Amino acid sequence: QNPKTYAIVKQLLAEGNAGELQKYFGSRMEFGTAGLRAAMGAGISHMNDLTIIQTTQGFCRYLEKNFSDLKKRGVVIGFDARAHLSSGGSSKRFARLAANTFISQGVPVYLFSDIIPTPFVPYTVTHLKLCAGIMVTASHNPKQDNGYKVYWENGAQIISPHDKGISQAIEENQEPWPQAWDDKLIDSSPLLHDPYAMVNKEYFKDIQKQCFYRNINKVTNLKFVHTSVHGVGHKFVQLAFKAFDLSPPFAVPEQKDPDPDFPTVKYPNPEEGKGVLTLSFALAEKDGARIILANDPDADRLAVAEKQESGEWKVFSGNELGALLGWWIFTCWKNNSSDTRAVKDVYMLSSTVSSKILRAIALKEGFHFEETLTGFKWMGNRAKQLMDQGKAVLFAFEEAIGYMCCPAVLDKDGVSAAVITAEMASFLATRNLSLSQQLKAVYDEYGFHITKASYFICHDPKVIQQLFDNLRNFDGKNTYPKSCGRFKVSGIRDLTTGYDSSQPDQKAILPTSKSSQMITFTFANGGVATMRTSGTEPKIKYYSELCAPPGNSDVEQLKKELDELVNALEKHFFQPEKNKLQRKTE
């Protein structure tokens, strides 16, 4: 019933374009733990009115089966500013159709009336004790994409087996229910609620529990630039600064308002580094700002750059900012905790492909560190388990510039991370320290952790499969590599098959997943490298790290060693020429 997608399909039929029709209708989008993520357009392989209705019908039936009080508690739905003119799809339209589906079944819906950052959805699930949450966003993906992200009643993203249960329910509920298309019905329904004003008040009240130096914030001379990269973050970061009594950051004018075309950037992803920050650097130079804070379009991630003494800009990696925030949040906890014995109930988490700097800090300071599988769904769920046991989870992070700094949101949150980073920088400025200098101090105290990560693009799943099969049958069947160039391999953990050479029974402790590829190599020189596939992009990613004990200050030597290890990894394990892989820089 969407005239635009209908016209696209009619046109393809008229042209007899079987190839395109096969692409549109050959296979349904897969619903996984990350929900849905695909281009907007016609057909069951794309995000459109029909696939949103079908997905929500399945999700609604699955929730009815799991919660006897669904009609009392309800669900929350939020959306970003994405829109796709040619197919008529937009995040707002999809959110309204999803709301209509639930309301037609007597389920209360808390539908945000305007665009919000992704973390507001998990916040609302927890705050209002709802059964579930949906956020319509494709985060930092290219402009034609959209997504449908799902949270469970615990305020964390879903993990298995919910994805399979929802997926099956979608298959069983594909025929649109009566009035499924008529989203105007919701406007007069007593089951529709708008949590926008309440959450805008309560969220900013809750993050103030992480504000420790209001007196410094009020008078700091430090200036900040903020960019929301054409996404939703502008208004909310301004409000967060106000909540912490900081002067508002300078907003990059060309990027502060939402624009689904992302006109000033090639990719709307601050993880891509300096290219996305060009306009921020220019504004910072003009206004004399030393620190840049950049959110991705749905404001759940944060990149930070700082102007160095030399005049150059340093963009911190996700691991470096993770080290700084971990140090800062623990230091604030320690300074404000009356009972130092409570340290044994303090936890920090990071994903297995992120730097182990938190482990080093935890060992020295006496708190607990745990690693989880990649992705905030694992850290959010684990954090909730620990909190239910009376533990304090102060911080969790992943190297893909995601940070959970505040227990009110069990997911990455770029809004609270931005303002906490600003307070940390303002505090350090009173000690005449920059963020870079403090990072070095952290490494001096807890040991240098040098990391390097990148990816190759590969659109052919068969090539990816072959590449990982080769690693599992390197010197004959079922043998992994014993070395990588001159670097001797001392341990292997394969979370696709569940093998771990370091365990007595050779079985991995972390959960395994046959549907995604992930192998970690430990080297005799203390290096660690992980190769894995991405759940949302056609990429094979790698992450590497060299850790030195405190006192080893020859950073240049460590960097050189890691560079050589990475070169060997690319040459011998990826074999980009043979496998026709495209490098990140291309």
CB 316 within 8 A of CB 303: yes
User: So what's the pLDDT on residue 549?
Assistant: 83
User: So what's the pLDDT on residue 513?
Assistant: 85
User: Residue 273: pLDDT band by 50, 70, 90 thresholds?
Assistant: confident
User: So what's the pLDDT on residue 548?
Assistant: 85
Check whether 293 has a pLDDT greater than 90: yes
Residue-by-residue DSSP string for 170-188: HHT--SPPTTTT-GGGGGG
Domains delineated in the chain: 3-193 (3.40.120.10), 203-318 (3.40.120.10), 335-413+431-446 (3.40.120.10), 448-583 (3.30.310.50)
Which tokens go with 451?
A: 């990391």
User: Residue 415: pLDDT band by 50, 70, 90 thresholds?
Assistant: very high
User: So what's the pLDDT on residue 339?
Assistant: 80
User: Residue 353: pLDDT band by 50, 70, 90 thresholds?
Assistant: very high
Torsion of CA 374, 468, 487, 354, to 10 degrees: -10
Reported for 388-391, long-range contacts at CB under 8 A and 24+ positions apart, including other chains, are 390/345, 391/345, 391/346, 391/347
Which tokens go with 392?
A: 């304090």
CB atoms within 10 A of CB 565: 24
User: So what's the pLDDT on residue 535?
Assistant: 77
Q: Is 351 a residue of the active site?
A: no
Over residues 427-442, the pLDDT tens digits come to: 999 999 999 999 999 9
Helical (H) or strand (E) element with 542: strand 539-547
Work out the average pLDDT over 202-212.
Answer: 98
User: So what's the pLDDT on residue 363?
Assistant: 95
With 0-12 CB in 10 A as exposed, 13-18 as middle and 19+ as buried, what is 370? middle
Sequence-ordered alpha helix ranges (H) in 110-233: 120-127, 162-171, 196-207, 214-219
Burial 62-79 (b: 16+ CB within 10 A, else e): bbbeebeebeebbbbbbb
Burial 208-246 (b: 16+ CB within 10 A, else e): eebbbbeebbeebebebbbbbbbbbbbbbbbbbbebbbb
The closest alpha carbon to 277, from 228, 318, 319, 223, belongs to 228
Give just the sign of the alpha carbon dihedral 445, 442, 403, 246. Answer: positive
Over residues 366-401, the pLDDT tens digits come to: 999 999 999 999 999 999 999 999 999 999 999 999
Over residues 73-127, the pLDDT tens digits come to: 999 999 999 999 999 999 999 999 999 999 999 999 999 999 999 999 999 999 9
Kindly name the residue from 91, 139, 228, 416 that is annotated as catalytic.
Answer: 139
Helical (H) or strand (E) element with 423: helix 414-430
CB 180 within 8 A of CB 50: no
User: Residue 537: pLDDT band by 50, 70, 90 thresholds?
Assistant: confident
Mean pLDDT of the chain: 96
User: So what's the pLDDT on residue 32?
Assistant: 87
User: Residue 515: pLDDT band by 50, 70, 90 thresholds?
Assistant: confident
Peptide bond into 248 cis (omega under 30): no
Which tokens go with 6?
A: 């209908």
User: So what's the pLDDT on residue 436?
Assistant: 98
Work out the average pLDDT over 184-192.
Answer: 97
User: So what's the pLDDT on residue 218?
Assistant: 98
User: Residue 220: pLDDT band by 50, 70, 90 thresholds?
Assistant: very high
The closest alpha carbon to 124, from 136, 109, 137, belongs to 109
Work out the average pLDDT over 528-544.
Answer: 92
Work out the average pLDDT over 278-297.
Answer: 98
CB atoms within 10 A of CB 172: 11
- Strands 75-79 and 132-136 come out as parallel
Work out the average pLDDT over 508-534.
Answer: 93
Over residues 318-350, the pLDDT tens digits come to: 999 999 999 999 999 999 988 877 999 999 999
Work out the average pLDDT over 2-17.
Answer: 96
User: So what's the pLDDT on residue 275?
Assistant: 87
Over residues 443-498, the pLDDT tens digits come to: 999 999 999 999 999 999 999 999 999 999 999 999 999 999 999 999 999 999 99
| Strand intervals (E) in 383-507 | 392-398, 402-404, 449-457, 483-484, 487-494, 499-500
Q: Please give the span between the terminal C-alpha atoms of the chain, in angstroms, as a whole number.
A: 41
Check whether 41 has a pLDDT greater than 60: yes
User: So what's the pLDDT on residue 536?
Assistant: 74
